[in-house]
Structure 1
């Protein structure tokens, strides 16, 4: 029996190592290509070989000085949108999920059913209605126009609800007996116990907001208001001769997400593991 478990463990480790290696290949290609000029990136087809004689930091210098350093403006826009949207999503979705899990009220199951229905609706279908709504509200070419449609994603509400439903009601009852209000019960009692869920959703929401490409491209009209993914698209030409800027810019855009994950990985793993099995 022990031998069988050991063999199974070895096979699992080998398979996961192979999968991890395959996943890292595109990242490795992006990394080494960010140090090459456009002619060398595809000169001999797609390759992942290191050739230090053809690699330099000139791409990053060109990226940071192109159009009077507009990349810094794109970076600031992406950071501002990501921070505001992440804070709004965490605050609103955690309260909605907590309410659906801990309160008994008429229409609760109907609201939760709507959340489940929205999970099954592809986001691309909503682009035209959202565009019309943002246009009528006069929010085109503004950060609010990018942020508002995504402040209550149904998947995040569902995740917080599944996590909060496993927390006993006794804490709230005891707090009410002591005279605590509903907001105080949530922020001082339940929110700290939902820390792993907040950690997991912080990373997922930040990644979604930071990497969002299509919606900011639709809403924003001026180059100064673009985010990094949409801004890098403007660096391309019909002849595709700016891959050096695109690759180096893409590499720079990955760094904040990696740092966020490294500082929050324990909460992310704990939240995804526990939240995935509760309820």
Structure 2
């Protein structure tokens, strides 16, 4: 296959053969969603099969067609495996079929020019036709909201356990400890069923809601607050502060180390969360970064270049979070572990 046009023709045939089966499944799913009454009405009007296809099937398959065309174009830009196999390891004459992914492989693996290959990968990350930065923004938004609400709700619950005496206090705290010992995978399916009944599927609320009152965070805050003197709360009440005022003006500033420690841990959990968003999110524009990176490995091609560079960039928010709160992290973890 030394001829340029012959090489391109063979590469095109192999690529089409590889992707035809998957595309057929997409169109089959689209056809099954079309109401059969439309075809029956067309038959009554004496429309033949070709007319039914042109007038009914083609217009109603437009969303499926756009989707297949989009991912096919993207797969063509990230093509690597076909040319790698046809030309014995990416060594095609006159660089026939050499895509940007193949170029990254040649520079980084064969020539060991890792810096140059990484630079090309960065170009693909910032200029490529992909949704990486949408996934990145979704994950960042969800992480910020989840961390803020989790710290707020969990600190309220922990403050109630530590500062007040009420009937059933020990019983409810034992329930928190029991929840702490149950893996999330055990309650994942019942939780999925409940979220579905509430009509919250394919929404960010379904991702955030189950983690608002986090058992481990409640336990940590409760242990931290047990070491605070009760006289501080009594002094606030004598000065006329409301219960919320006491919490926000007196307790919350003292809990800054604990907040910092839990912000890092809960931020890592929210940022790296994969299984639960995968179950409840259906729309591709709502994908988080963990789900989006996983879609880069698909039947249309393995886009390892974007996957590797994107994975490296995904570390940056957690790194920044730790840098911001590292001053209080060790202090908060130690205090919450030994008090009480």
Please give the TM-score of this superposition, normalised by the length of structure 2.
0.66
1:197 aligns with 2:258: yes
Task: Give the number of aligned pairs.
Answer: 237
2:332 is matched with which residue: 258, 271, 276? 271
Give the 4+ runs in structure 1 shifted more than 2 A: 36-41, 50-56, 63-67, 237-241
Q: Relative to structure 1, is the Cα distance of residues 232 and 38 closer, same or farther in structure 2, using a 3 angstrom cutoff?
A: farther
- Alpha-carbon distance change, 54 to 76 in structure 1, aligned in 2, over 3 angstroms: closer
List aligned pairs for 1:121-200, cutoff 5 A: 121-200=182-261
Structure 1 residues 226 and 53: CA distance shift in structure 2, 3 A: closer
Q: Is the 8 A contact 2:118 2:309 kept in 1?
A: no
Q: CA deviation at 1:65?
A: 3.5
| Cα distance in 1 between the residues matched to 2:120 and 2:247 | 52
Match of 2:167 among 83, 98, 106: 106
Q: Is structure 2 residue 61 aligned with structure 1 residue 61?
A: no
Displacement of 1:238? 4.8
Equivalent residue, structure 1, for 2:284: 223
SS of corresponding position for 1:105? coil
Q: In the alignment, what sits opposite 1:97? A: 158
Structure 1 residue 278 displacement after superposition:
0.9
Whether the aligned pair in 1 keeps the contact of 2:296 and 2:302 (CA below 8 Å) is: no
Deviations 1:223-245 (A, max 9, x none): 11000010000111258732221
| Runs of at least 5 residues in structure 2 that lack an aligned partner in the other structure | 1-102
Contact 2:155 2:218 in 1 (8 A): yes
Q: TM-score, normalised by structure 1?
A: 0.80
**For residues 52 and 232 of structure 1, what CA distance do their matches in structure 2 show?**
22
State the partner residue of 1:8.
none
2:25 equivalent in structure 1:
none
Q: Deviations over 1:236-260 (max 9, x none)?
A: 1258732221111111110011011
Structure ID, larger Rg: 2
Distance 1:209 1:70 in 2: 20
How far 1:174 sits from its partner (Å)? 1.2
For each residue in 1:196-238, what CA deviation from the matched residue of structure 2 results, as whole angstroms up to 9, or x when unmatched? 0001011111111111111111111111100001000011125
Q: Deviations over 1:80-130 (max 9, x none)?
A: 111111110010001111110111111110111001001110111111011
- Structure 1 unaligned spans of 5+: 1-35, 45-49
**Number of the residue aligned with 1:78:** 139
Distance 1:258 1:85 in 2: 18
- Cα RMSD, aligned residues only: 2.0
